[in-house]
Amino acid sequence: MTVAGNLFTRNDLDRSVNSSANIVGYPMGAVKEQSANLYATKLAEQGFVTVSVDTSFWGGSDGEPRNAVLPDVYSETFSAVVDYLSTQDFVDRERIGVLGICGSGSFVISAAKIDPRMKAIATTSMYDMGAVNRNGLRRSQNVEQRKELIAAAVQQRQIEVDGGEIQYTGGTPHEITAESTPVDIEFFDFYRTPRGEFTPEGSSPNLTTHPTLSSNTKFMNFYPFNDIDTISPRPMLFISGDQAHSREFSEDAYALAAEPKELFWVPGAGHVDLYDRVELIPFDKLTRFF
């Protein structure tokens, strides 16, 4: 399976010197052009070689059906980029870091646990895609509700086995109503407005952020924070807005991780603010960390 990425370097990069490199993953359900390219550009301006990457089944990367959920393969995407960077003679293979935004934060942690070539691991506005699918935000979903979701996914899987059409689930709403939640509105303001709209390669903007219904429950078997302490002594940095609805996941990861680790709060920032609000994203903090 071919993985698609964008490589960023400073125009004046001295390719005779081995440079530090970073890999940037985007929010779950997006593509590298949404948020990841911005982070990669800003880090490249600081002298890093950076790659923004589409996880398998999304954007320009291979994988059928499109928008399938396979978290282990998502994590493997980041190791594949390490493979690529390690073959570039202008990259120091001993200084490759990873940065995951939103859902990719949990994927880079999963990858780093079994790929020690990732020397420094950072996340911003992280979502634990396993926990949120099992339990909902702030544990608002009980086991019976979880079982109902599993039953619906398996029913849809059987429909597809029998030749029926693929159905999609979750993701960002396409319109705001009186019943819309603050979280719905926050995501809508990014994905469904010119701020973050993008037509993914080989896909439709109507499918942006929407995984396949039959596969989405695979996240329920995804436990990225198990054994997170084994990443030590490689450093970890968790960045979250202090107003973010997702802050619980950065707090959980920080509590379970071993030293060296840091939990950094961005005052006044919400979850999606750290996708693209350059005046809020602490690029100086990330530069010092990497």
One of 3.10.20.30, 3.40.50.300, 1.10.10.10, 3.40.50.1820 is the CATH number of 5-137+223-289, namely 3.40.50.1820
Domain residue limits, the chain: 5-137+223-289
Q: How does residue 200 score in pLDDT terms, banded at 50, 70 and 90?
A: confident
Is the pLDDT at 211 greater than 90, yes or no?
Answer: yes
Is the pLDDT at 264 greater than 90, yes or no?
Answer: yes
Nearest 10 degrees: CA dihedral of 177, 179, 183, 189?
A: 10
H helix runs in the chain, sequence order: 36-45, 71-86, 104-114, 129-135, 143-161, 182-191, 247-256, 273-276, 283-289
CA distances from 235 to 124, 145, 177 (A): 15, 37, 43
| Structure letter (DSSP) for residue 101 | E
Nearest to 207 by CA among 181, 239, 234, 170: 170
Q: How does residue 215 score in pLDDT terms, banded at 50, 70 and 90?
A: very high
Total residue count of the chain as it appears in this document:
290
User: What is the Cβ-side half-sphere exposure of residue 182, based on CA atoms within 13 angstroms?
Assistant: 7
Cross-strand partners of 157: none
- The confidence score (pLDDT) of residue 147 equals 98
